[in-house]
Amino acid sequence: MLHHGFVRAAAALPRLRVADCSFNAAQMLHLMDDAERQGVHVLVFPELSITGYTCGDLFHQTSLQRAALDTLDDLMLTAESRYSGVYIVGLPWAVRDQLYNVAAVCQKNRLLGLVPKSYLPNYKEFYEARWFTPGLRVTEERGTWGRSQQREFRLATDTLFADARRPNVCIGVEICEDLWTPIPPSSQQALAGAKILVNLSASNEVIGKAGYRRQLVTNQSGRCIAGYVYASTGVCESTTDLVFGGHGIIAENGNILAESPRFQRENLLVVSDIDVERVHNDRQKTNSFSDSLSQHGKPFRVETFTLDRSPTRLVRAVDAHPFVPRADDQLSERCGEIFHAQVAGLAKRLEHIGKPAVAIGISGGLDSTLALLVTCKTFDALGVPRDKIHALTMPGFGTTQRTRGNALALMSHLGVTARTIDIRALCCDEMRALGHRPFGIELDGLTLDAFTAKLQEVPADERNDLIFENVQARMRTSLLMNTGFVVGTGDLSELALGWCTFNGDHISMYNPNVSIPKTLVKFLVRWAAKNEFTADAQKTLLDIVATEISPELLPTGADGLLTQATESVVGPYELHDFFLFHFLRYGAPPEKILFLAEHAEFDRKYGAEEIRGWLKMFLKRFFANQFKRSCMPDGPKVGSISLSPRGDWRMPSDAMAEVWLGDE
* Digit-coded pLDDT (tens) for 303-361: 999 998 888 899 999 999 999 998 999 999 999 999 999 999 999 999 999 999 999 99
Evaluate whether 7-305 and 328-563 have a shared fold.
Answer: no
Catalytically active residues are 47, 117, 176
How far apart, in whole angstroms, are the C-alpha atoms of residue 182 and residue 177?
Answer: 11
How far apart, in whole angstroms, are the C-alpha atoms of residue 213 and residue 420?
Answer: 59
Domain 328-563 belongs in CATH node 3.50.50.60: no
**What residues pair up with 242 in beta bridges, in sequence order?**
239
- pLDDT, tens only, 603-623: 788 999 999 999 999 999 999
Q: What would the mean pLDDT of 99-118 be, rounded to a whole number?
A: 98
Query: Strand, helix or coil at 389?
Result: strand
Nearest to 528 by CA among 643, 418, 413: 413
Give residue limits of the domains in the chain: 7-305, 328-563
How many CB atoms sit inside 10 A of residue 309's CB?
Answer: 10
How far apart, in whole angstroms, are the C-alpha atoms of residue 587 and residue 244?
Answer: 41
Mean pLDDT of the chain: 94
State percent of the chain over pLDDT 90. 86
Q: How would residue 548 be classed by pLDDT, with cut points 50, 70 and 90?
A: confident
Q: Residue 296 above 90 pLDDT?
A: no
How far apart, in whole angstroms, are the C-alpha atoms of residue 564 and residue 550?
Answer: 6
**pLDDT for 664:** 56
Q: How would residue 562 be classed by pLDDT, with cut points 50, 70 and 90?
A: low
How many CB atoms sit inside 10 A of residue 115's CB?
Answer: 31
Q: Residue 148 above 60 pLDDT?
A: yes
**pLDDT for 567:** 85
Q: What would the mean pLDDT of 199-212 be, rounded to a whole number?
A: 94
Higher pLDDT, 53 or 297: 53
How many CB atoms sit inside 10 A of residue 631's CB?
Answer: 12
Element (H, E) at 232: strand 227-232
Q: What would the mean pLDDT of 374-389 be, rounded to a whole number?
A: 98
Query: Are 524 and 516 contacting, i.e. CB atoms less than 8 angstroms apart?
Result: yes
Query: Are 368 and 361 contacting, i.e. CB atoms less than 8 angstroms apart?
Result: yes
**pLDDT for 557:** 74
Q: Cα Rg for the chain, rounded, in angstroms?
A: 31
pTM, entire model: 0.92
What are the counts of helices (DSSP H) followed by strands (DSSP E) for the chain?
22, 19
Query: Are 288 and 191 contacting, i.e. CB atoms less than 8 angstroms apart?
Result: no
Q: How would residue 94 be classed by pLDDT, with cut points 50, 70 and 90?
A: very high
Domain 7-305 belongs in CATH node 3.60.110.10: yes
How far apart, in whole angstroms, are the C-alpha atoms of residue 404 and residue 397?
Answer: 12
Q: How would residue 663 be classed by pLDDT, with cut points 50, 70 and 90?
A: low
